[in-house]
Structure 1
Amino acid sequence: MERTSHYEDYVKILEEELIPAMGCTEPIAIALAAAKAREALGTEPEQCRVEVSGNIIKNVKAVTVPNTGGLKGIEASAAAGMAAGRPELGLEVLSQVTPEEIEAMKALMERCAIRVVPALGDRVFFINVTVMAGEHTACCEIVDFHTNIVRIQRDTEVLFQAEASAGDGEEQTDRSVLSVEEIVAFADCLDTADVAELLDRQIAYNTAISEAGMKGGWGAEVGRTLRSLYGDDVAVRAKAAAAAGSDARMSGCELPVVIVSGSGNQGMTTSLPVIEYARDMGASHEELLRALTVANLVTIHQKTGIGRLSAFCGAVSAGCGAAAGIAYLKGGRYQIIAHTIANTLAICSGMICDGAKPSCAAKIAAAVDAGLMGYHMYVNGGHEFVGGEGIIKKGVENTIDNVGRLARLGMRGTDQEILDIMVGR
């Protein structure tokens, strides 16, 4: 089959997006910045200043940082990075922490004054960690996405500098080439060897943390609750698998996940329901890889117009992506997938993001449920929500654009109000 016009771009987008991370990505990004700053300083910090945008505060406040002995929050994230971070590991910066280092980070929090400062300006994603010892200072600045380091400095010497839009070169491919129609065509013509390593890692990592969540003891046990209440139907298992992964991850599980659009929760929500349906259907490995390709790219496509962080819950985009992947797995192509996306967005686009925390698992279950309903509505009777009804507009790309506008522009005030509520203002 002839390759699509943007074939290489689509492969690169998957390579840029499907990366491993351990722990919720916002606290991990703070830990990464702190580890880089401490490395530049060259000695143990005596003081630390963490300047972060509101959305970072929102997503770090209530989530457990892995490999810290159960610590939560911005101060814990910074201390973990300073005391035990391996900056060369990127978003797995805390993956090799020893028991001795957990004690060291707790001691550092007592010795080192860590001050959190809300960032000025309107940049949604901003982290600047400055560390001080004696007469020396060092800082690391991350903007726009989790590994986008734009400056490392020691005293007056700039050790590394990059454009804010380019960072360390990890996100350069133009996402505007994405469209639902070409995503489906790309999956059809894909040489799965081009993405097998990425997707096999996604399957292995995300399945492992989901299984850990299903064993219990994590968060509110949403995944286990779903299974105990509603049984063993594949739709229940699909929702429970994604929720269980979040149960574990939001509560400090030390297993890594493969993220999508900068989010582990979105990575799990996008992939685990598709994996569960593939197992139930007895689908081949190649069929699963093609379906996951659709799921991941549909999620990324939606998030491109929304942005990494927003008041719009990313589980909605990911649940929509999962439903698109399931539709593809069941033989659906552009028309069915487009209507599945539009139906899903009509159902649950009002879900807010009020930070990373255990209740994310329940939101994930709701988003996957909406995706499955959107799919079954169309394939069982051709039922659809049509243009002119609310935010739905004729043509799936127009509806995706509307949701991006709603999330990126319309919910700015909502985002600030959520933050004010969370911090007690």
Structure 2
Amino acid sequence: MPEQGQEQELISLLRTEVKPALGCTEPAAVALAVATARDYLGGRIDRIKLAVSGNIYKNALAVTIPHTQEAGLEMAAVLGLLKGKADRGLEVFAGVESADVEEAKLLVGGGLAQVRIADREGIFIEAHLEGERGWAEVVIAGGHTQVVSVNLNGKSREQREDYSGQEKGSDWFSDEYKLSELVEQVEKFRLEDIEFLRDGLEMNLAMAELGLRSKPGLALGAGLKALIERGFLSDDVGNRARAAVAGACDARMAGMDHPVMSTMGSGNHGIVAIVTVAVLAREIGATEERTLRALALSHLVTAFVKQYTGRLSTMCGCAVAAGAGAAAAATWLQGGKAEQVGGAVQNIIGNLAGMICDGAKGGCAFKLSTAASEAILASEMALAGIIINPVDGIISPTVEDTVRNLGRLSSAGMTCAEKTILDIMLHKEKRAV
């Protein structure tokens, strides 16, 4: 990232990557690909053929689709065909009604949609539609809303020149970039440039309240809240953040009709990165301006980690990426300096590196709640001068090298784990049938 205009580059990153999402982003991306292909082709559609990466498959398999009690890639694809609004991006399911769900069930049962796992990594969705007007094929890759190619009856209608057919890492930050530079830039942002982050604050806190009140899905958030009220868990900021984050995840994974603000393509990342910071800000009485700057730092540190781990990976990004963002923001929010901010990131990576991602589902609430409470703990320890030793495991003397080590572990180090997780999930599905 060039020094000149660095501030605006970071603001642009925030505006591009912090977006509302209705339901889990992977089923939404599948529906978006199908809806886009439908809009290009038109007419009666007779068949949908989906090819998705293993990462997309595992994250879209078990999570409830908004406005339904259904899950699965076939259902997401058919709903995208019937009522998907391509112009709404990750809110593609907005407007789906009960009659649409019943029709979709019949079409899924009739075999309209077929799914296969492609030999691709990261975000990859190929939606091939056939109908009375021929065929259309749309590919989304590299980002949940990033259409990289459109082919209509053998003619290219859209093609990104920089798309090579393989997942590429994001290049938001240069290899020489320091985390301390993010802290400096966040402190310099004009307030009017980051005021839009207030929307995510309000949106995700509303989802947390909805989850705690309505007890949807796993209802872990409500369960944690009850333990606090009974005195089994202490009534402190770490546990309140834990319950709030779990409540928001409960509601989202159960498909409740309320969007969350996502970050770096993930609604669950957005929940950890925003709600954790919001609960702490409320606890210490932080001003709105300082809270918004802390949220900006949370999103940007999440992006910094995701550049190395990838958007979708075998490791739980809610823990190691959004958790790192929340830990950094919590530290800065309480007056921590750049060295302590980096120390908090070191602490949480040393703590949670290795937590696997085995797909999006209700049980993610456990992982998100852990990330929230451990982010606050990592922050408090760093502020107290307790920072993990740089000779420990994958931890390096600099936080930047630690993040790079994490990226290496997440990609090359866990290739076998990714295949094994997917194999277990596929065999579970076959046994269930």
| Structure-1-length-normalised TM-score | 0.93
Three-state SS of the structure 2 residue aligned to 1:47 is strand
Q: Does 1:391 align with 2:394?
A: yes
Q: Which amino acid aligns with 1:47?
A: R
Report what 2:121 is aligned to.
123
Q: Which amino acid aligns with 1:202?
A: G
Q: Which amino acid aligns with 2:73?
A: I
2:4, 2:242 → 1: CA distance? Answer: 32
Report what 2:346 is aligned to.
342
Report what 2:431 is aligned to.
none
Answer whether contact 1:45 1:112 (CA < 8 A) is retained: no
Report what 2:230 is aligned to.
none
Answer whether contact 2:331 2:383 (CA < 8 A) is retained: no
2:342, 2:170 → 1: CA distance? Answer: 27
Q: Which amino acid aligns with 1:100?
A: A
1:210 Cα offset (Å): 1.1
Q: Which amino acid aligns with 1:101?
A: D
* Equivalent residue in structure 2 for 1:311, among 311, 314, 317: 314
Q: How does 1:141-290 map to 2 (within 5 A)?
A: 141-163=139-161, 165=163, 174-176=172-174, 179-197=178-196, 199-229=197-227, 230-290=233-293
Residues 220 and 399 (structure 1 numbering): CA distance in 2 closer, same or farther, change over 3 Å? same
2:407, 2:388 → 1: CA distance? Answer: 18
* Equivalent residue in structure 1 for 2:378, among 371, 374, 387: 374
Answer whether contact 1:13 1:175 (CA < 8 A) is retained: no
1:379, 1:135 → 2: CA distance? Answer: 63
Q: Unaligned regions of 5+ residues in structure 2, if any?
A: 228-232, 429-433
1:304 Cα offset (Å): 0.7
Instruction: Tell me the percent identity.
Output: 36
1:254, 1:173 → 2: CA distance? Answer: 34
Three-state SS of the structure 2 residue aligned to 1:370 is helix
Answer whether contact 1:320 1:368 (CA < 8 A) is retained: no
Three-state SS of the structure 2 residue aligned to 1:175 is coil
Report what 1:299 is aligned to.
302
1:163 Cα offset (Å): 3.0
Deviations 1:21-48 (Å, cap 9, x if unpaired)? 1110011000000101111220231111
Answer whether contact 2:170 2:307 (CA < 8 A) is retained: no
Answer whether contact 2:341 2:382 (CA < 8 A) is retained: no
Answer whether contact 1:62 1:356 (CA < 8 A) is retained: yes
Three-state SS of the structure 2 residue aligned to 1:283 is coil
Report what 1:25 is aligned to.
25
2:315, 2:163 → 1: CA distance? Answer: 23
Answer whether contact 1:196 1:289 (CA < 8 A) is retained: yes
| Structure-2-length-normalised TM-score | 0.92
Report what 1:320 is aligned to.
324
Report what 2:40 is aligned to.
40
Deviations 1:377-416 (Å, cap 9, x if unpaired)? 2323x22212121011101111111111111221111111
1:117, 1:84 → 2: CA distance? Answer: 23
1:187 Cα offset (Å): 1.5
Residues 258 and 63 (structure 1 numbering): CA distance in 2 closer, same or farther, change over 3 Å? same
1:242 Cα offset (Å): 1.2
Deviations 1:176-225 (Å, cap 9, x if unpaired)? 3753101110111111111111x011112111111111113322111112
1:146, 1:22 → 2: CA distance? Answer: 13
Deviations 1:224-273 (Å, cap 9, x if unpaired)? 12221125322211111111111111111121111111100000100101
Report what 1:75 is aligned to.
74
Three-state SS of the structure 2 residue aligned to 1:129 is strand
Residues 326 and 138 (structure 1 numbering): CA distance in 2 closer, same or farther, change over 3 Å? same
Three-state SS of the structure 1 residue aligned to 2:218 is coil
Residues 266 and 297 (structure 1 numbering): CA distance in 2 closer, same or farther, change over 3 Å? same
Answer whether contact 1:299 1:318 (CA < 8 A) is retained: yes
1:369 Cα offset (Å): 2.2
Answer whether contact 1:79 1:108 (CA < 8 A) is retained: yes
Deviations 1:353-392 (Å, cap 9, x if unpaired)? 0000011110011112222222222323x22212121011
2:393, 2:147 → 1: CA distance? Answer: 40
Q: Which amino acid aligns with 2:187?
A: D
Report what 1:422 is aligned to.
425
1:334, 1:323 → 2: CA distance? Answer: 12
2:75, 2:209 → 1: CA distance? Answer: 27
Answer whether contact 2:23 2:65 (CA < 8 A) is retained: yes
Residues 288 and 417 (structure 1 numbering): CA distance in 2 closer, same or farther, change over 3 Å? same
Three-state SS of the structure 2 residue aligned to 1:26 is helix
Answer whether contact 2:313 2:357 (CA < 8 A) is retained: yes
1:179, 1:239 → 2: CA distance? Answer: 30
Which is further off, 366-375 or 138-147? 366-375
1:31, 1:135 → 2: CA distance? Answer: 20
CA RMSD of the aligned region, Å? 2.0
Answer whether contact 2:171 2:307 (CA < 8 A) is retained: no
Which is further off, 215-224 or 80-89? 215-224
* Equivalent residue in structure 2 for 1:353, among 354, 357, 374: 357
Q: How does 1:399-418 map to 2 (within 5 A)?
A: 399-418=402-421
1:366, 1:172 → 2: CA distance? Answer: 27
Q: Which amino acid aligns with 1:54?
A: G
1:345, 1:293 → 2: CA distance? Answer: 20
